[in-house]
Amino acid sequence: MKFEQKQDYVLFTSESESFNDFYDFFTANHKTFTQNSVFIYLSSKLNLQTSDISLFLQYADLHQKNGTTFVVIYQNVDVDSFPETFNIVPTLVEAEDVLEMENIQRDLGF
């Protein structure tokens, strides 16, 4: 488990096979980055349920209110199981595209 500051966002990466350990790590460190855009990269080694990923909804809402982007990156997910406002994509490139699109929307006043 680690996080790294990129130019436009903070990337949290799960390196363990325990979702609970990663989630605890994230919640302990997230408060430092509430004003930054945040990406969560969940390893495909994790056998996650929709309920696990849904734990991040509260953080997505917080970032939306702050005018920043929050994206979960996970390959094995049915995006239709989540609200449309919850950004969940299968790759880092797509997460960066979401960030760029949301920045454009904010610049245009949406």
Residue pair 92/72 in contact by the 8 Å Cβ criterion: no
pLDDT band at 66 (very low <50, low <70, confident <90, very high): very high
* pLDDT confidence band for 46 (50 / 70 / 90): confident
Q: How far is CA 50 from CA 7, 44, 47, 96, in A?
A: 30, 14, 10, 23
Give pLDDT, residue 77.
Answer: 85
Question: What is the architecture, at CATH level 2, of domain 2-108?
Answer: 2-Layer Sandwich (3.30)
**Annotated domain spans of the chain:** 2-108
Rounded to whole angstroms, how far apart are CA atoms 77 and 6? 25
